[in-house]
Amino acid sequence: MSEQKLAAEVRTEFGKGFARRARAAGRIPAVIYGHGEEPIHITLPAKSTTLAVRVANALLSLDVDGEEHLALVKDIQRDPIKQIIEHIDLLTVRKGEKVTVEISVHLVGELAPGTTHNLELTTISVEADATELPTSIDVSIEGRTAGEHIHASDLPLPKGTVLLTDADALVVNISEAHVAEEETAEAAAE
């Protein structure tokens, strides 16, 4: 994953009133914390930040008054109605540092005819280098037949990534498609 470069401004005002004024001016309040350092309260440009954090586990390279900070998005608070970003929590990371993140599981391919799948785990926990975080794991279900299972240990992890989820955890369960048979039987009875 590549870093997104953003220019941040240190903020000295706090509270709802300041946050509203900042958002009206096209800025998003945020805080950078971690590694035992004092938190740094900043504002980020709304448009470029919103685009940068669309990716899970976004890595941001922040220029805070000429000082570079590498940060991982930890939490995003959004307005429940408008879905605009109200505040972002950022965790300081260093190049080469290992971090624990949740990554999504995406299924690719088509099952054998007459089968269906159930995605038991939508995300898995992994440990990886902060600058080499995978955004998702693609799992092939191409041609899989009823009765087959895909466990966490079967997932194709990128080099340097360590699985933290239990290796025996069921990720995908392939079974027979009973719904189609019942609909066919009902249609035949009519």
pLDDT in tens, 122-172: 889 999 888 888 888 898 888 888 888 889 888 888 888 899 989 898 988
Mean pLDDT of the chain: 83
The pLDDT assigned to 182 comes to 57
Contact 107, 76 (CB under 8 A): no
Summarised one tens digit per residue, pLDDT across range 67-102 is 888 888 888 888 889 888 888 888 888 888 888 888
- b/e for 86-125, b at 16 or more Cβ within 10 A? eebbbbbbeeeeebebebebebeeebeeebebeeebeebb
Q: Does residue 19 share a domain with residue 86?
A: yes
Residue 70 and residue 112 in one domain: no
Cα(143)–Cα(113) distance, rounded to whole angstroms? 8
Q: What is the pLDDT of residue 183?
A: 61
Of 93, 119, 135, the domain-final residue: 93
Q: Are residues 119 and 68 both part of a single domain?
A: no
| Structural domain boundaries, residue 84 | 4-93
pTM of the model: 0.70
Residues 28 and 67 in one domain: yes
Q: Are residues 8 and 89 in the same domain?
A: yes
Average pLDDT of the segment spanning 92-121:
86
Are residues 68 and 10 both part of a single domain? Answer: yes
Residues 85 and 11 in one domain: yes
Claim to verify: residue 130 and residue 61 sit in the same structural domain: no
Is there a single domain that holds both residue 135 and residue 178?
Answer: yes
* Residue 180 in this model has a pLDDT that exceeds 60: no
In terms of domains, do 17 and 84 share one? Answer: yes
Residues 112, 88 share a domain: no
Q: What is the Cα–Cα distance from 143 to 3, expressed in whole angstroms?
A: 37
Residue 49: CATH number of its domain: 2.40.240.10
pLDDT computed for residue 186 by the predictor: 65
Higher pLDDT residue, 188 or 47? Answer: 47
Looking at the domain assignment, is residue 190 inside a domain?
Answer: no
| 34 domain-assigned | yes
**What is the pLDDT at residue 185?**
58
59 domain-assigned: yes
Same domain? 74 vs 139: no
Q: Provide the number of structural domains found in the chain.
A: 2
